[in-house]
Structure 1
Amino acid sequence: MAEVHIIGQLTGASEFPDHRLFCKWGIHAGGAWKLIAGSKDGQTQVDNPQNEEFAAFCHPIDLHYATKGLQGWPRLHVQIWHHDAFGRNELYAYGFVHIPSSPGPHEVECMTWKPNGTFKEELMQYFVGGCPQLKNPELIYSGADRYKLHTTAMGKVHAQLNVILRNFDKFGIES
């Protein structure tokens, strides 16, 4: 079987409206993909930068997949959360990006978005906090019904990923 190694880190997040951010992340791959080693999801620590707009995570990612086909190429999906001064965690944004399919080092930027609520929900969010959340988190990376959502653009999540491909030439796949 062909193999893909993904080694790198979530470096941080930028352009969000507030500090004290952390990231819940995961890698989703199709049915032809088998995780051989590594953790396919995780969570970073909370970073509260004082004098800059970049929340640094430096959270490692190290995965090894085997695959029988290219369908369902791995995707990195993220949820950015805000830890407020009262100790509450509120969802800030969702996002996803495909893992690069070419071998070598890659600087990846994942654009994020948040779902819009009704007028009442937006008013409550302004005064009380919180944000509308997806009932089905698979909507983050699957295109099924995501086009029906009304969203607002948020910040970016930055990652440095090294992709290593092995045995793709034996199966007639040029990388």
Structure 2
Amino acid sequence: MLKTSEKIFSETPSIITKEEGLKILNGVIPLTTCLDKAFQERNRYFENKVRIHILDNIKNGYCPEDCGYCAQRKNANSGVQEYPMKSEQEIYEDAVQAKKNGAYRFCMVTSGTGPNRLTTEKLASTIQRITDELNMKVCLSAGLLDIEKAQVLKEAGLDRYNHNLNTSEIIIRKSAILILIYKELKH
């Protein structure tokens, strides 16, 4: 059986157990060893270069959700300046500026539960323009998507998507169970 450090730092790393992970956290494998190996891996894949990702908040506030931690949630008195989604041209101009500033990837973020069909089409059009004209990678965080919306965004050139589910696994499980019960009772 491989030692924990060999499992983690080999050419083809394998999954470590919880106990092996605790060895790292508890210092059985020195932190300096982990940092050195992480540095070697970064150098192997990216050399001594940095990729810049520029984040653009394209819609702020106006969220119907009530996530307790979020300054943009409904009924929040956080002083956050709310603004509707920027126009396609404004977003594109932000991407142009990001490119001028050396960005490799342009990341768009919106508040809210998820985009409707019209917003998805607008985002797809914007993504297509950015990828075609600026040759940039594009990522997006816009809430929950169904398969059809995800496919539209992917076909437009979306490189990555952050679903932004910021809660514990226990809450997600409980919510899923409640949704299933609700659907059962509804029928």
Shorter-chain TM-score range: under 0.3
- The structure with the larger Rg is 2
Structure with the greater relative contact order (CA < 8 A, sep ≥ 6): 1 or 2? 1
Structure number with the higher strand fraction is 1
Structure number with the higher helix fraction is 2
